[in-house]
Structure 1
């Protein structure tokens, strides 16, 4: 565990800003970061886009990859805070006069509930720019006020800043009017308080102080209720699959194995009804084998990524509640696990008698990255058009492309070569020979066709994660901090079991009706969870948030689409592997007997 911690810290070193140890009177590092509407978490702008105390030359602070992806744009500030030295009211940048246009822009920002973010010794603090007084009586009154007095309270222990609390003095506020010039004097005061909180707990202290501004994490009671509900669902499904499907398969095997062993396989099949009838076609390669292999490879990689992130979160190797660090971890782990995608895809493609293995590796490397790049290009263009810090600088784009080109793609090729060679060495594992002429499929009712069966198969897995999904959405597009990684790890395991059980049950029903096109259907059974997730996400947007505006809505739709697509790949892989294992087992049992 120590080795894992050291490796992760080294790999994400650029994502972790070191806090300082100060002597009395030494200047504390204070940076300005970003501003944006409170209701739109992903619509952020540079702090100095505001016409307040803007320096002639803006000096930016170096940022990690994860911080840039999180929309951070840290720059030096005019705040002069000395360690353990109280300070009465101090003017921040002197008296400045705002033009009518700047005063109007500032008033509109306050009306949109803009907040600002400061970073003091690597601790984030937030504040609203001002307030709006809205009289609900006749005559109507609408007044906009700008806060002009920052009151800092800092806690310290053994030369370290432990926590920062910021309160805006409401008695020192200035009224702004549209299209009217105004003189502004922004000031601040500092109070220091000694605390016994150890330095190791400064992140918890910071989270506690931030919860007074942003929404605190919800209690875990609903989490455990969700888990209890999901566990009950798992028990019901396992019992259903274990008793009904297993007993049906056992009965079928007993009936099939009473046949005369001396008969030819195909003569015997002609006398049977049910899933054994299609034994000569069930292992026939499906349509688009390269696409199927690429989907399974990408899904296996995403499952590995999710498992690694949950392992890091539950063991608390690093503080994954930090969004910037979480972004860095995702990129690093995704790049390093690219070999898994290549291995699984090439292994499956070889099993399906594929010949264009180079094209298969290329498709595998792009099956998730290409939609990701397209979605990013669209959202980044919108963010850039509106001047949002969510638009990535070209240097960051080059760095991301380099990570994929120099690490991700080569590992995909290496994994593909290994998967191809291993599969070639093992040879075919199909227990029955494939017929030369494909068997004609029977007519099926609408409810037994692929769309209906796939949607049915995704409903139960979605119901198992629906409650927990609301917490994840609140973390992604709200102001909550998700810390219960142990809970989500349990839900993740439940999702795997439920998806596998649904896939096995529906695949058995399909084969029993003599439909041997199970390859893609079994994948779509798990992948259809994305449909429910997307509908749920749109409902979350409309009924649980007040988000709006082109930047935020573009970010929401693209992020939601990518999340659902990733879930489709991962859950589709789970359901396909479960179905393939089940099919291999039942037909091998007939063959061996």
Structure 2
């Protein structure tokens, strides 16, 4: 009976602790657990190390103290969070005067050098109290190259009724460190009532002056006006030009064969028998379009969730939501990719479906696992555990793959049959010579300039929030920029495709896709500029981390932009060839 009561009491305590962390509701003298997270150089934010990898001492434990654990989520492990209980005893609304946390006795030479390294590189540490982030600096040096640690942590915690709404950390007691010295680490806690509402407690972390600067608003307005101008210009030019083309082709239809032979026939109508010919590398092309459509939908819904749910208030919630959305949108990949593949005459649709399923996940996992070797070598907290790798593989195999199969089967049977407005010639028509500026390589190269111009200001804010100490929260701006980008890409690609078809070059499918994708190439060039001129990053680990993850970001952006371009251009090509009488 005694053991049963003890078990029930233990379970109730565990439930109480979990409910406090999940609901953020506390009663007087309830324990509030303070977690250490990671250490990182100020200018290398992504280069993070577990706090206790450095020679900080662990808190002194009493005999009756129970162990505190934190079960990290899957997304937190992927993002490199490494939460460890601080051992500081903090209770709701209970002030604590200066109290000893732990002591380093007789600092040895090795630990001294590690502290010096952290001070020279301006290391900061991160902590969490009730999911509110706290940052503090390790130490500093003076002009005489004396090194100091901040050994006292003063916490000022604001509360509104039964919830914590504000935390401030003041680092005090600058202690001169030398080998052989003893170091005492202390803390104090002061509670005060606050008028801040619980829903607004993250507001102080948001840099409104930075993200809502006039330049940001002006760039959005400028991009919007460019879209209006571009859509109007494209509509006017194409409609007038196409009207002339229709009139000329209508006149040509009234001529007999001899008059046609003597006439000067040219233009996009002449390649009607080849314009819907199957593309080269059909498996790769259809897989890219399917993956791009899936990524576009997943990103669109992710931004909507971020706008409505304020995902920045929970650790790793953006990544976990992104994984969930990418998984459940997998049928779109199978449907679009396989239906496109079979319409182009592909027979091995199962192989295409498998390739399409693992195309982008393999790119992500390959990049992450490669960088993981550097993380393991540097003992960084960004290293992904083997169990997490297996979890990612399991999601791909047991969730994404079956959903993709469902979409592929539906796509093959519902819209897998070709329904072109023109018959396809048995023998391909030779492509005539044309001027250098009408070659696909030139069209692709210049096609990404205008779309990049519509988003490069937003790229600065995105890069700064990811690679510096900013929390990105203006997802409404991001949604508007994404829509602007899609419209600009479609307009630019339609114009490029029209001139290409008018030059009797029917290789428009790959050209349209690569024209849209070239936007990502300019983004990567901007990322190179940003690294060298806008950051102070250094070291092999951070450089590798930056350029490989930027490559991954640009690859995903390129696949998305290419799918925008192809889908918009496809509608245009179908429209113009379905309105012309073809003999």
Q: Distance in 1 between matches of 2:271 and 2:364?
A: 39
Q: Moved runs in structure 1, 4+ residues, more than 4 A?
A: 55-60, 261-264, 266-271
Judge which range, 49-58 or 274-283, deviates more: 49-58
Structure 2 residue aligned with 1:521, among 496, 502, 511? 511
Residues 1:277 and 2:276 aligned together: no
**C-alpha separation between the residues in 1 aligned to 2:537 and 2:246?**
57
When residues 446 and 274 of structure 1 are mapped into structure 2, their CA distance, relative to the original with a 3 A threshold, is same
Change (3 A) 1:468 1:376: same
Q: Is the 8 A contact 1:216 1:480 kept in 2?
A: no
Per the alignment, residue 79 of structure 2 pairs with 70
Q: Secondary structure at the match of 2:202?
A: helix
Contact (CA 8 Å) 1:60, 1:74: kept in 2 or not?
no
1:175 aligns with: 176
Identify if the C-alpha distance between structure 1 residues 225 and 466 changes in structure 2 by more than 3 Å, giving closer, same or farther. same
1:29 to 26, 33, 41: 33
Query: By how many angstroms is 1:269 displaced?
Result: 12
- The CA distance in 2 between the partners of 1:415 and 1:307, in whole Å, is 19
Of 304, 310, 319, 1:311 maps to 304
For the pair 1:93 / 2:96, whether they are aligned, the reply is no
Gaps of 5+ in 1: 1-13, 136-140
Q: Gaps (5+ residues) in structure 2?
A: 1-17, 62-66
For residue 387 of structure 2, the aligned residue among 354, 378, 395 is 395
Structure 1 residue matching 2:30: 3-state secondary structure: coil
Are residue 369 (structure 1) and residue 361 (structure 2) matched? Answer: yes
1: CA distance between counterparts of 2:499 and 2:364?
36
Paired position in structure 2 for 1:144: 147
Report how far residue 84 of structure 1 moved: 1.4
One of 504, 510, 517 as aligned partner of 2:494: 504
When residues 173 and 548 of structure 1 are mapped into structure 2, their CA distance, relative to the original with a 3 A threshold, is same
Asked if the contact 1:70–1:323 (Cα under 8 Å) also holds between the matched residues in 2, the reply is no
Cα distance in 1 between the residues matched to 2:489 and 2:232: 14
**Shift in alpha-carbon separation, 1:21–1:431, aligned structure 2, 3 A:** closer
Q: Distance in 1 between matches of 2:415 and 2:338?
A: 8
Q: How does 1:225-304 map to 2 (within 5 A)?
A: 225-260=218-253, 272-304=265-297
Asked whether the 8 Å contact 1:116–1:128 carries over to 2, the reply is yes
Distance 2:93 2:68 in 1: 26
CA RMSD of aligned residues (A): 2.4
TM-score with structure 1 setting the length: 0.90
CA distance in 1, matches of 2:58, 2:371: 28
Q: How big is the shift at 1:216?
A: 7.3
How far the C-alpha of 1:420 sits from its partner, in A, is: 0.3
* Structure 1 residues 50 and 423: alpha-carbon distance in aligned structure 2, compared to 1, 3 A threshold: same
1:131-161 Cα shifts (integer Å, max 9, x gaps): 122x3xxxxx222210011111000121222
Counterpart-to-counterpart distance in 1, 2:571 and 2:114: 62
Matched, 1:53 2:57: yes
User: Alpha-carbon deviations, 1:256-291, whole Å to 9, x = none?
Assistant: 012336968x97898621111111111111111111
User: For 1:577-592, what aligned pairs fall within 5 Å after superposition?
Assistant: 577-591=567-581
Task: Report if the CA contact (8 A) 1:110-1:129 is conserved.
Answer: yes
1:548 equivalenced with 2:557 (yes/no): no
1:155 is matched with which residue? 158
TM-score (normalised: structure 2): 0.91
Correspondence for 2:121: 112
Contact 1:459 1:532 in 2 (8 A): yes
Matching residue within 127, 139, 142 for 1:130? 139
In 2, Cα distance between equivalents of 1:323 and 1:592:
60
Residue 194 of structure 2 corresponds to residue 185 of structure 1:
no
Q: Aligned pair in 2 of structure 1 residues 176, 448: CA closer, same or farther (>3 Å)?
A: farther
Q: Distance in 2 between matches of 1:552 and 1:216?
A: 28
Q: How many residues matched? A: 560
